[in-house]
Copies of this chain bind each other. A is one copy, B any other.
Amino acid sequence: MLRSKVLSLVARSGSNRLMSTGTKLTTVEVNDKTGIATLTMNRPPVNGLNLELLQDLKSSIDEIEGNKSRGLILTSSSSTIFSAGLDILEMYKPDKDRIRAFWTQLQETWLALYGSSVPTAAAINGHSPAGGCLLATSCEYRVMVPKFTIGLNETQLGIVAPKWFMATFLSVLPQREAERALNQGRMFTTEEALKVGLIDETANSKEEAIEKCSAFIGTFAKVNPLARSLTKQQFRAADLRQLEDGRKDDLEKFLFFVNQPAVQKGLGIYLEGLKKKAKKQ
């Protein structure tokens, strides 16, 4: 699918080549006409955020930071799921060392994306619950394809979204909306998300979503990159510092919570439900 997209873009624009790189679970394509990098999550079937996908995401964000891209567009190789969020298998009956590495990596990937020095946008071409929504709201702009849902639904799963999920949500939504949605674990349809401001635009296809994200990034064309980057950092500094200064505490709090028997039981029931659902299909 990526290959055909590459070919179609090349066919359309003539000189518009794409340089494609990436890791095992992500792809990075830099459009050499616009200079914008598209970072595609590619861990079928649902882009579940496990340790390896989070590592690959971090590597790809670092690569884009380093290759002088004009911007970063985050999207998915799936046609129905942007990202299903944290991989439950990382949290259910976890290995002691791996779960520490997993959460530490989640922190690092968020710090890199939320604090990225390049303009960022999400082309949300599928459902985007929990950690998927965290990734999308960590970007500066969001374009979403209709008939999908987005939200931080942690409370529906018996989990508490940590403070920095909350801060990310509050960078996009007013406090009244953010608190209520997080308490409810509310999933917004594309239309509802647009109305409340959780996304900025809708698009009828992934391709159109990427074009609209590119247009947003294009608004920075005449802006001094250093001044822009320092201004963004200044806006996000308090949120970033809150996690940076409390990473150990945040990790211990997560480990304590996830190891509660009630939470483990809830995750087990949830996984059983997923298995049954999978068998039916």
Within 8 Å of chain B (Cβ to Cβ): is A223?
Answer: yes
Is A184 within 8 A of B220, CB to CB? yes
A175 at the interface (CB under 8 A from B): yes
- Chain B residues within an 8 Å CB radius of A176: 171-173, 197
Tell which of B155, B172, B236 touches A224, judged by Cβ atoms closer than 8 Å: B155
Q: Which of A206-233 contact B (CB under 8 A)?
A: 219-220, 222-224, 226-228, 230-232
Q: Are B156 and A224 in contact (CB under 8 A)?
A: yes
A220–B156 Cα distance when bound, in Å, is: 9
Q: What are the residues of chain B within 8 A of A115 when measuring CB–CB?
A: none
Q: How many angstroms between the C-alpha atoms of A228 and B236 in the bound complex?
A: 26
* Chain A binding surface, main DSSP class: helix
Say whether, besides A183-B220, A224-B155, A230 and B160 are in contact (CB < 8 Å). yes
Please give the distance in Å from A164's CB to the nearest CB on chain B: 11
Contact of A140 among B179, B231, B262 (CB under 8 A): B179
Distance to closest chain B CB from A200 (angstroms): 9
Chain B: minimal CB distance from A63 (Å): 22
Q: How many whole Å from A233's CB to the nearest CB in chain B? A: 9
Bound CA–CA A109/B163 (angstroms): 26
Give A contacts to B, CB under 8 Å: 119, 140-141, 154-161, 163, 166, 170-176, 178-180, 182-186, 197, 219-220, 222-224, 226-228, 230-232, 234-236, 262, 266
- Besides A156-B222, A172-B175, 17 other A-B contacts (C-beta < 8 A): A140-B179, A140-B180, A141-B180, A155-B223, A155-B227, A156-B223, A156-B224, A160-B230, A160-B234, A161-B231, A163-B234, A172-B176, A175-B235, A179-B235, A184-B219, A185-B228, A186-B219
